[in-house]
Chains A and B, each alone.
Chain A
């Protein structure tokens, strides 16, 4: 392998996102294990300060595409920038973070380069001098180790799989790569973020609280949706945990049933939702495969509160199953957290 390119975008402040720094660790380890040269390729509105921040990573070359048009993500411009960086580097193996921005364009760029892409990989090892990547199939139900002949091989690395790079800053000898801005009918307008008091999806949180459909089910003839909302939001406020939801709960809104007002499809974990990474996870009122199997695959410590002691999906998936009424337990939890 001639070289490994670490490919990443800068954020709105001109810095590298945490998942990019994690990918840089993977790239540096790969370079060391294979003896290949490490290259860094950055794109964004400004890349100089990000390059300087990782100047001590051992890269032989630093390439950068900087253009105001790259301030916001857009397929056409991002793909063109990544393609130019890959060509400038000439690397046979490219590692990039699996951010939404990179995931949008990377397979298209691999196609343009005549190579191949593998996405959301969780580990990269070396076997007989060749990279071997670990990735999941069938929504985190099966994992495979693969290697391939196609070059260049473009790989995205899932967040939380490697420690973030923490090497010394310095002054990187940045080679500027020119960008022929392609014609596009797309104009990236803005990023619409939830306001701070409605922000309940927190990827960096220590804990994930998963809410299941049981929160809205009728008990003694009536549902207690208002109380459920208050308990869940109270817990999130006190712990700054991230909120996930089972599919069945999100789907209730389309079926005209009572719903938790702050839930959207973005909260959904599982088959058609996110597979978040948090050190701890607490599932409440969940009874089903999605939160316990698919949505929890990358949650380290898992506990569940469920009225069903025989819940087949919690057994073997959760470390602790509390057989209890989540309304009562969470009220007590919130009281204790408030002390």
Chain B
């Protein structure tokens, strides 16, 4: 058994950036959104690394990364991501901000996946993050799966292990540090990844050069994707106003600090 692994991954503002909402012509947006440095969504990144690792260990498997975002930003981000693991990029040129509808994003992603040349749906493992660091709905992957007719779905996945009989064992996160353990007899299936178990791969310039041969043409022929938030009315979008008056305690013996902490715990 080989796999055709399609990873859905968007880009998000670098987590260390300060974000501020503004109201634009299409509704809420981020101030200076196009100026903010972007990264591959962290959960999508985990999904991509797990996909590459699986493909490496299962002969004849292949990885596609389907990404919806502004072309120019995607090109920036791919300069880094392309050096990590081998994949073929499919680009949809559209907004990547959080104030869009999961249903609309999913519809475009599903259409793009359907149009991938040589994709064998009987081998399809559809990967993505179980949430995003922008909209944070945890909804896109389920809807893409439903649109493609894939009803075997898993969310919060940390482990996917192919078994000798061709089945796969899947571990999904549950409350309290527990895992739901399931078996999947065969593809296709949807996997919304949590962090997985792999570290971020180191940069490999050779992999980067191989990837970039396909990435630049893919970006050039990106299909436009109109994505908005039809039917949604944003009554307000704001930063949480709460700021604490932090009391700084220093030059105090550890024993005194400990006593204060214990009183607080017991109080």
Q: Which chain A residues have a beta carbon within 8 Å of chain B's beta carbons?
A: 72-76, 79, 99-101, 103-108, 110-112, 116-120, 127, 132, 135-150, 182, 184-194, 199-203, 207, 239, 250-251, 253-255, 264-268, 271-273, 280, 282, 289, 297, 301-303, 305, 309, 314-325, 328-333, 335-337
Let me know if A136 and B176 touch, CB within 8 A.
Answer: no
A75 CA / B154 CA spacing, docked (Å): 7
Does B118 lie at the interface of the complex (its beta carbon under 8 Å from any beta carbon of A)? Answer: no
Does B84 lie at the interface of the complex (its beta carbon under 8 Å from any beta carbon of A)? Answer: no
A84 CA / B44 CA spacing, docked (Å): 32
Does B161 lie at the interface of the complex (its beta carbon under 8 Å from any beta carbon of A)? Answer: no
Mostly helix, strand, loop or mixed at chain A's interface? mixed
Interface centre among A110, A145, A322, A331 (most CB of B within 10 A): A322
Considering the complex, give the chain B residue whose CB is closest to the CB of A304: B246
Does B28 lie at the interface of the complex (its beta carbon under 8 Å from any beta carbon of A)? Answer: yes
A58 CA / B243 CA spacing, docked (Å): 40
* In the complex with contacts A103-B138, A111-B147, A324-B254 CB distance below 8 A: yes
Binary interface encoding of chain B residues 158-187 relative to chain A, with 1 for a CB under 8 A from any of its CBs, else 0:
100000000000011111111111111110
Contact segment of B56-64, B66-74, B196-204: B196-204
25 contacts between A and B (CB under 8 A): A103-B156, A105-B153, A106-B139, A107-B142, A111-B147, A138-B12, A138-B133, A142-B21, A184-B151, A188-B180, A192-B178, A193-B176, A265-B197, A266-B173, A266-B177, A271-B42, A309-B248, A317-B244, A319-B247, A321-B246, A324-B252, A325-B254, A329-B254, A332-B254, A333-B258
Q: Which of B181, B233, B243, B259 contacts A191 (CB 8 A)?
A: B181
Let me know if A107 and B248 touch, CB within 8 A.
Answer: no
* B221 CB to nearest chain A CB (Å): 29
Q: Which of B103, B135, B177, B244 contacts A194 (CB 8 A)?
A: B177
Given the complex, which residues of B lie within 8 Å of A301, measured CB to CB? 264
Q: Which of A74, A319, A336 contacts B262 (CB 8 A)?
A: A336
A73 CA / B156 CA spacing, docked (Å): 13
Interface centre among A79, A141, A265 (most CB of B within 10 A): A141
Considering the complex, give the chain B residue whose CB is closest to the CB of A333: B258
Let me know if A328 and B254 touch, CB within 8 A.
Answer: yes
A297 CA / B156 CA spacing, docked (Å): 21
Q: Which of B103, B142, B199, B243 contacts A251 (CB 8 A)?
A: B199
Q: Which of B140, B186, B246 contacts A315 (CB 8 A)?
A: B246
A306 CA / B45 CA spacing, docked (Å): 31
Q: Which of B140, B235, B257 contacts A147 (CB 8 A)?
A: B235
Does B9 lie at the interface of the complex (its beta carbon under 8 Å from any beta carbon of A)? Answer: no
* A128 CB to nearest chain B CB (Å): 11
Let me know if A100 and B134 touch, CB within 8 A.
Answer: no
* B153 CB to nearest chain A CB (Å): 4
Let me know if B239 and A185 touch, CB within 8 A.
Answer: no
Does B255 lie at the interface of the complex (its beta carbon under 8 Å from any beta carbon of A)? Answer: yes
Q: Which of B224-267 contact A (CB under 8 A)?
A: 231-240, 243-252, 254-255, 257-259, 261-262, 264-265
A146 CA / B178 CA spacing, docked (Å): 33
